[in-house]
Every structure is written in C-alpha cells, then in structure tokens.
Amino acid sequence: MGLGLKDIVAAKQRIDPYINNTPILSSSVLNTWLGHEIFFKCENFQKIGAFKARGGVNTLAWILENGERPKHIVANSSGNHAQAVAYAAQRFGIPATIFMAAYSSKVKVQATQAYGAKVVLSQTRDITDAKVAQAAKKDGTFWIPPFNHDQVICGQGTTALEAFSELQNIDAVFTPCGGGGLTSGTLVATRGLSPNTKVFGVEPLNANDAAESLRKGSIQRLKSVPDTLADGAMTMAVGNITFEYLKQLDGFYEIEEEYLVYWTQWLTHVLKCRIEPTCAMPMEAIRRWLRTQKTKKRVLLIISGGNMDQATSKKIWEYDCLAKQPTLSDSE
C-alpha cells in the first residue's frame, strides 16, 4: 500500500481541466438544531452529477501519461462509474463500452449512453463482471474498475483534498461506502492533510458487505443483490485494495433504510439541491456519532452524487418525513 498525499495531489493536477471544483454548503438551521457545524462537499454538482467523474478521468489520464493510448475502454458499474468512464472516454476521444446490470437506474443508463458509450445490459452482476473481464482481454483494451484501482482511489481522494483547502479544524469526515473507492481516497487525503481528523465509512444495513468484512477480518461477498434505496452502495463486495484502507478507518456505520428516506428528504430541503439516498445515509451516522461527543464538533459529509431516477424518487417522497425535525435525540 503505497498511496500517499502526493498521489492525490498529482491526481488533482491531472483532472483539473476536466472536473468541477464543487461547492461546500452548510445549513445554519440544521447546525442550530443539532448543535454542531456540518459541512457538505457537494459532488452532486460535479460533472456527471457524482464524484465518480474524478476517478474515471484520473485513471484514463494516468493511462495516457504512462503508456500507449488504448484503442478501447471498458468498465462495469451500477451507474455513476459508468457515466464517469463514458465521460472520460468522450473527453479523450476513445471508444467505450460499459457493462451494466439490468436493474441499474434507468437515468444512469441513459446518461451513460448520452456520453457516447455503448451500454451492454446483463441480468445479474456476476454476468456483467464476467463479460467485462472477457472484453478486457482484447488487445488495446483497458478496463477501468469502479473502485479497486490505485488511480481510481486517487481520483476520488481529490474530493477531500479540495474540501480541506477550504475548511480547517474538521473533527471528522463521513463518506458513503460502496466498493470503498471514495472512502479509501478520503482516508489517504485526510491522513496526509489533517491527521487528527477522524474518518468514518457508512453503508446501508441491507448492503453491509464492508461492515461484515471488517468484523470478520476478510472480504465477505453478498449472496444476492441487496435490497436498498442506496443504489450507489449496491456492491457485492469491496476490493482487495480498498479493504486494506477500510481497515484503517476510525469507525464504520450501518444505516437502516428508513433513515435513508428521512435524510434524503431533509438534506434536499435544507440544502435546496437534489441528492441521492446513498449520500444521505452518512447524515444518520453523523447524528449517532455527535450524540457521543461532549464538545461542539465540525464535521464534513461528502455528498457523493445527485443522480436519482423517478422510481426511487417516488419511494423517497411517498411519506412526509419533514414533520419530524432533526435532533440528536433517538426519539426523533
């Protein structure tokens, strides 16, 4: 494991011409209710509407810097990474084929195609993974995996790098965790820039492969596609690279589906922008952590994206959660 702050900085220089330096928002109302300062790094304003653009662009730019120009790019993804690789390939003028499961968000499939990539749908994640592995064997083809690659991790870590250039004295950073790329990159950047800041990962209880892996000390794979509104965290297992970083976290939270709904509604309301359920779940982890703290804290939450299809949106807004004001109390 050789990644350090210098690798994140190099990635930032590599991707700067192609990505947005996204805003950091806060809500004075939410801060008053909870009694702490919470900052939101809003990657829903990123190219393709998610942080994944960073890892996709960085990996492809790194390939072009360090080897022959690929004839073809392939990737496998449930959504945002698909768009990221399609976007990167389009920017660098390289054909791309993205392998996606049939249950992937329709809006993410359509967006991937809009960036010029060919999309191949398969019935299961295992079939998708097998197809991309086969396609990657062709001469001149390069496979950009969704999380288990050093340069993907470095690209995702630029999110925290940007945040720490604007914020000081942050006590803790919370990130949603699917395959662990964002969480790993955030850990590397944070340890290099603010070593006293704690870093926490968060995933849905219904898709808790990372938490199970950490408990058992080895990578655990889910037996079936998880039933969760957090489609960005529907990975079957973390990678062997990301797992080593996840072991170094200061803590890990598993969040029930009801809180994904609650915090998606509330963060949409107080931040006045569209977010995915995947990046709302860390807010519940923050609430639980803050309940254990005796002094006022400054916390950073990485809003990983804002790509939500209509079907998911209907489930989120089926019931009104805004009548229940956020509080640190468990009676909420």
- Tens of pLDDT, residue by residue over 143-157, are 999 999 999 999 999
DSSP state of 170: -
Q: What value does the mean pLDDT take over residues 271-292? A: 96
pLDDT at 278: 95
- 295 close to 244: Cβ distance less than 8 angstroms: no
Q: Which two tokens stand for residue 317?
A: 């807004």
pLDDT at 49: 94
Q: What value does the mean pLDDT take over residues 260-289? A: 97
pLDDT > 60? residue 47 = yes
Top pLDDT among 232 and 165 is at 165
CA distance 189 to 4: 7
**Percentage of the chain exceeding pLDDT 70:** 99
Model confidence pLDDT, tens digit, residues 294-312: 999 999 999 999 988 888 9
Top pLDDT among 214 and 77 is at 214
> 320: burial class by Cβ within 10 Å (0-12, 13-18, 19+)?
exposed
CA distance 262 to 280: 8
Q: Which two tokens stand for residue 243?
A: 């797992």
pLDDT > 80? residue 331 = no
pLDDT > 80? residue 44 = yes
- 165 close to 9: Cβ distance less than 8 angstroms: no
Q: What value does the mean pLDDT take over residues 127-153? A: 93
Nearest to 321 by CA among 269, 243, 274, 272: 269
CA distances from 83 to 89, 148, 260 (A): 10, 17, 23
pLDDT > 50? residue 332 = no
Model confidence at 197, pLDDT cuts 50, 70, 90, reads very high
CA distance 245 to 183: 8
In the chain the domains, ranked by start, together with CATH numbers, are: 5-51+149-317 (3.40.50.1100), 52-143 (3.40.50.1100)
**Which phi and psi (to 5°) does residue 205 adopt?**
-60, -35
pLDDT at 200: 99
- Kindly report the average pLDDT of the chain as a whole number: 94
Residue with tokens 């993907």: 152
pLDDT at 221: 95
Phi-psi region at 226: left, alpha or beta (left = phi > 0; alpha = psi -120 to 50) = beta
Model confidence at 68, pLDDT cuts 50, 70, 90, reads confident
Model confidence at 329, pLDDT cuts 50, 70, 90, reads confident
Q: State the pTM of this model.
A: 0.95
pLDDT at 8: 99
Top pLDDT among 118 and 232 is at 118
pLDDT > 90? residue 104 = no
pLDDT at 266: 98
Q: Catalytic amino acids? A: 52, 78
Residue with tokens 């993205």: 98
**Percentage of the chain exceeding pLDDT 90:** 85
CA distance 276 to 274: 7
Top pLDDT among 2 and 94 is at 94
Amino acid letter at 65? E
Model confidence pLDDT, tens digit, residues 202-230: 999 999 999 999 999 999 999 988 999 99
Helices of type H across the chain: 5-15, 28-34, 52-66, 80-92, 106-114, 125-135, 150-166, 181-193, 209-216, 240-246, 257-271, 281-290, 310-316
Q: What value does the mean pLDDT take over residues 171-181? A: 97
Q: What value does the mean pLDDT take over residues 229-242? A: 92
